[in-house]
Amino acid sequence: MSEKRPVVVDLRFARESVVNALRSAFPDRPVIDMGDPAHADRDLSDAEFAVVWKPDPALFRRATGLTAIFSGGAGVDHILSAYELPDLPIVRFVDRSLTDRMSEWVVWQCLHHLRNGIAYAGQQQHRVWHEIADQPEARDVTVGVMGLGVLGADAVHKLKIIGFNVIGWSRREKEIDGVETFDANGLDAFLGRTDILVGLLPLTDDTRGIYDRALFSKLRRSGPLGGPIFLNAGRGGSQKEAELVECLKDGTLKAASLDVFEKEPLDSDSPLWSMPNVIVTPHAAAASDVRALFRHVEAQIGLFEAGKPLEFVVDRTAGY
């Protein structure tokens, strides 16, 4: 019998994916799966690590012996904003599969808008055969990526491979080879050159509601796409949806692709569902691969038990 203390798992993911992943995860220690009703009233005081995504608020009061908390996703605002947390390290999920999925979504949406995907989908629906003339190339379009962490930096790299002109923005100065970057003081200059704005920012006090009419109005209006386009796969709380809708109606924005929303699931009566210039995906741009998540946690626990520092620890002051 293992002498190691348990890992408690409380993930609001598809139940089947968690169960399947747990069959081969954490073979050397007990696992307390809070999705199993048999554990509803279990004593959690002996748990050493917690793997969570939108867990039961009582979890951290019950699991008093934790030494580290692992987020089930790249973001941690769901933990920092909604729970009273013990003073423990919180570790973000950083993995190749998650990073690749996010970059794939960003590239897909940029190409969709570049190649008139919305217009052609409408023509197909109405059985119209009409080639749209004067289509720009990727090299003609500037994609501005807001958020240059692991996900943003990878998206920048892959957009450049496709041929887009790419620039980047982050609150603090960052350097990426071959890419012009801007910091907080250069936001207006960054926006003024951007045709497709990609939002990959974490949700913090500084970024909450940052995507509003004032920001959208500073995007380049004379670009080759006929108006600026907004993509958001970061956090829904970073956009002011009422203002976003109005900007999509009055032409301040030509179009948008949205994977995240202020309230999720997106309300069935939201106008975003039926707007012809909007693509909606259900927070699926970088859905966590649960097996990859557990491999990540196992690797971090291995570092911890070897006396080495954990990786990807959240700076609670910065919020990411």
Sheet holding 180-182, edge to edge: 180-182, 165-169, 142-146, 196-199, 229-232, 255-258, 278-280
Calculate the dihedral angle through the C-alpha atoms of 307, 309, 311, 313, rounding to the nearest 10 degrees: 120
Q: Does the pTM exceed 0.85?
A: yes
Decide if 113 is catalytic. no
**Residues facing 52 on adjacent strands:** 10, 71
**What is the pLDDT at residue 287?**
85
What's the average model confidence in pLDDT over 233-257? Answer: 98
Among residues 283, 291, 295, 316, the one annotated as catalytic is 283
Q: Which residues contact 15 (CB under 8 A, 6 or more apart)?
A: 35
What's the average model confidence in pLDDT over 143-153? Answer: 98
Q: Amino acid identity, residue 188?
A: D
Instruction: Read off the pLDDT of residues 247-286 as tens digits, 9 standing for 90 and up.
Output: 999 999 999 999 999 999 999 999 999 999 999 999 999 9
**What is the pLDDT at residue 1?**
47
**What is the pLDDT at residue 28?**
95
Decide if 221 is catalytic. no
Output the average pLDDT for the chain. Answer: 96
**What is the pLDDT at residue 2?**
61
Calculate what percentage of the chain has a pLDDT beyond 90.
94
